[in-house]
Structure formats: structure tokens, C-alpha cells
Amino acid sequence: MIEMKHISKTYTRKGVETEALHQVNLKVNEGDIYGVIGYSGAGKSTLIRMINFLEKPTSGQVFINGIDLGSYSTSQLRDARKNIGMIFQHFNLLNSKTIFQNVAIPLVLSKVNKTQIKDRVLELLDFVGLADKAESYPNELSGGQKQRIGIARALASNPSVLLCDEATSALDPQTTDSILNLLKKINEEYNITILIITHEMSIIQKVCNRVAVMENGEIIEEGNVLDVFGSPQQTSTKKFVQTVIHDEIPASVKNKIKDVPNSRLFKVPFDQNDTNPIVNDLIRTFNITVNIVFASINEIKDDTIGYLVLQLIGEKDLLEKAAGYLSHPEIGAKELAK
Ligand SMILES: Nc1ncnc2c1ncn2[C@@H]1O[C@H](COP(=O)(O)OP(=O)(O)OP(=O)(O)O)[C@@H](O)[C@H]1O
Ligand SMILES: [Mg+2]
């Protein structure tokens, strides 16, 4: 669907070169809600500008549905862009035009006839839940409503891809959730592929199926959202994951358990599909005491990731055997320092 191959982008301003993207490879499949996360200046917006070819990469290629955008003439590019909708942090609505007129802009530009424009705009306003606002002006709407209009406008020309650059950053948490639910609905009902750019891991957690982490113009980690949240590899990825998954034992708990003699600590992943009676096995098979000191369960899109931290207390050789049992790949526990 969208494929970037070895994309680099260097800006030159007053003789100073900034490499905003360096050898980026990215593949977004049809039907994905793909999240790109990174700190400010990582190159996320530059990446999105390469996809709609508002700017040309310094080197590398972008393919949409297998076609190299670089091979297109200007008029072909204009047509190709109709296939790509975009929404923005600050909505980019025209204040002098009504909501109806704002949503109609792409259709007017494409010279669609008036009756069709009317039908399509009203259908879209209905879809985003704002059919009653057709004659209002943008400054009469809340931020969440403005973004719904931005979404309706982006969908007007029936795109197969929707690009969202920090589309919820100006909204409160509750409104953010309602916009994210709308994006999910667009993905499911219209089968539109969505690329979300954000610096908030909670956005990725709620709607994305894949994620790429950007740092200094490069993608440093990429994968299925459950895998990345379950075992992040890079330092930045770990930091992002920790903003939503609390798998650190609170200091107050740590203080209480640190001096317990003959004890060891283990972090056991909690798998809802796994029915191994781990705690029961530990107590019965190894004749040790098991103390649950901390647990956390987090929802990731339609799944969960959870951890249980167990303190095992008992004789040294029994603890060693229990440790062997817990390290079995099927259980996948890791020992923690006390
Ligand atoms: N038109 C430009 N001219 C010069 N430098 C630019 C230009 N656009 C971006 N840059 C530089 O490229 C780098 C990446 O910028 P970009 O806007 O892609 O980051 P970002 O990840 O979107 O950040 P933010 O989260 O703050 O939006 C930055 O160092 C930025 O200063
Ligand atoms: Mg940006």
C-alpha cells in the first residue's frame, strides 16, 4: 500500500544542512492503522510530507499501491493526492466558509457537479455526527467538532489512505478518545488505511496495529503493537512504552520486600490465553511460599498485556528449582533485582 525505500531528506537553510530523514524504510499495509511515534524534531512531519509528495525526498522512493510517486508527472501527482486524505493538529478549516463549504472544497476543486457535492457533503457530515452544523462557521464549533469536520473534508474525495499529523494533540483526553473511535470506524467501515503521527504512546495503544519509533530522522524500531509494547528493544521505545504500561514495582512496595530473607523476585508475563496454574505449581511442586507483590494489566487495542511480580520465599535449592521452572519459554518469567 505505502512503501518508503531508503528515503533521506536534507534541508538546507542559510548554508546549514539538516538531515531530517536518514535512510527510512517503512511499509504500511492495506487496512493498517499504523502509528509513527517520536519526540519533537524526530522527522515525523517530514515523513508524512514525503508520502503525499508535498516535498520530494533528497533520495529514495515512495510507492503507493506499487507505483513510484517519483515517476509521476505533476498532473498525475495531483490525481494521486486525491487518494490521500490528511488531517492536521490545528484542523486547517477556512473560517470565512461554512462547514458545508469547507467539506465541499476538495469536490469543488475536482469539478464535481452541485447535486453530487450536496449529497456527498451531507452524507459525510452525517457520518461524523455533525449533520446539524452544515450552515455553521468553524469558530462556532469546539475543537473536537472542528476535527470531525477536518475528517469529513479529508474523506470527501474517497481516499484509500488517511494521514493524521498530531490530529488529537490540541484536544482534551475525552475528545481525543471520540476522535480515535471515529478513526477506527473509518478504518473498519470504509476500509481506509490510516497513518497516525503522534508523540503520545496512549494514541498508539488505543488504535494502532503497527508502530514505528522515530529518532533523529531514523526508524529505530518497528513492529506489531503488541510485540513492541510487550518487549521494547531500544531505550527510547522503552521510555515511550513506560508512559502507558506501568511494569515497575512502586518504590513503596520495593522498600517493604527488599529485606525479606531467602527470597527472590520474578516478573511473570500474564497471558490471558495461557491456563498454566503457575502460582499453584510453584507452591505445590517446590514447596515454597509465593507472595504476589505487584500486578498490572494494560489494554492494547483489542488485547491485553499484563505482568505479575512474585516474591518466592524458601530454601535456596528449592528457589533455584522454582527459578528453572519460571524461566521455561512457555512461562517466560524474568528475575528482578531486589
Ligand atoms: N522546511 C524545513 N527547513 C529546514 N529544516 C526543516 C524543515 N522542516 C523540518 N526541518 C527540520 O527537520 C527536522 C525534523 O522536523 P519535523 O518537523 O519532521 O519533526 P517532527 O518529528 O514532526 O517534530 P514535531 O513533533 O515537533 O512536530 C527538524 O530538525 C526540523 O528543524
Ligand atoms: Mg511534526
Kindly report, residue by residue over 107-141, the tens digit of the pLDDT.
Answer: 999 999 999 999 999 999 999 999 999 999 999 99
Q: Please indicate whether residue 20, judged by its CB atom, sits closer than 6 Å to ligand 1.
A: yes
Q: How far is the CA of 217 from the centre of ligand 1 (A)?
A: 9
Q: How many beta carbons lie within 10 A of that of residue 242, not counting itself?
A: 13
Q: Please indicate whether residue 38, judged by its CB atom, sits closer than 6 Å to ligand 1.
A: yes
Phi first, then psi: give them for residue 315, nearest 5 degrees: -70, 150
pLDDT at 276: 75
Q: How far is the CA of 252 from the centre of ligand 2 (A)?
A: 39
Q: How far is the CA of 168 from the centre of ligand 2 (A)?
A: 13
Q: How far is the CA of 198 from the centre of ligand 2 (A)?
A: 8
The DSSP string of 230-266 is HS--SHHHHHHHHTT---SPPHHHHHHHTT-TTEEEE
- According to DSSP, the β-strands at 16-28 and 161-165 are unpaired
What domains appear along the chain, each with residue ranges and CATH number?
2-242 (3.40.50.300), 251-336 (3.30.70.260)
Q: Which residue numbers in the chain have pLDDT < 70?
A: 272-275
Q: Please indicate whether residue 157, judged by its CB atom, sits closer than 6 Å to ligand 1.
A: no
pLDDT at 272: 66
Residue nearest to atom 12 of ligand 1 (CA): 20
Q: By the 8 A CB rule, do 62 and 77 touch?
A: no
Q: Please indicate whether residue 208, judged by its CB atom, sits closer than 6 Å to ligand 1.
A: no
Ligand 1 site-directed mutation target among 4, 7, 18, 22, most atoms within 8 Å of CB: 18
pLDDT at 23: 97
The three grid cell numbers given for residue 91, joined into one nine-digit string: 484542523
Phi first, then psi: give them for residue 24, nearest 5 degrees: -90, 125
Q: How far is the CA of 166 from the centre of ligand 1 (A)?
A: 14
Residue nearest to atom 1 of ligand 1 (CA): 11
pTM (2 d.p.): 0.88
pLDDT at 134: 96
Q: How far is the CA of 205 from the centre of ligand 2 (A)?
A: 20
Kindly report, residue by residue over 302-327, the tens digit of the pLDDT.
Answer: 788 888 899 999 999 999 999 999 99
Residue nearest to atom 10 of ligand 1 (CA): 20
- What letter does residue 188 receive in the DSSP assignment? H
Residue nearest to atom 3 of ligand 1 (CA): 11
C-alpha separations of 215 from 81, 219, 267, 296 in Å: 27, 6, 29, 28
- What letter does residue 141 receive in the DSSP assignment? S
Q: By the 8 A CB rule, do 37 and 198 touch?
A: yes
Ligand 1 site-directed mutation target among 46, 49, 52, 200, most atoms within 8 Å of CB: 46
Q: By the 8 A CB rule, do 242 and 295 touch?
A: no
The continuous run of DSSP H or E covering 22 comes out as: strand 16-28
Mean pLDDT of the chain: 93
Q: Please indicate whether residue 37, judged by its CB atom, sits closer than 6 Å to ligand 1.
A: no
pLDDT at 258: 83
Q: What is the dihedral of CA 164, 234, 303, 33, to 10 degrees?
A: 20
Phi-psi region of 182 (alpha: psi -120 to 50; beta: other; left: phi over 0): alpha
pLDDT at 18: 93
Residue nearest to atom 5 of ligand 1 (CA): 11
Q: How far is the CA of 41 from the centre of ligand 2 (A)?
A: 7
Q: Please indicate whether residue 45, judged by its CB atom, sits closer than 6 Å to ligand 1.
A: yes
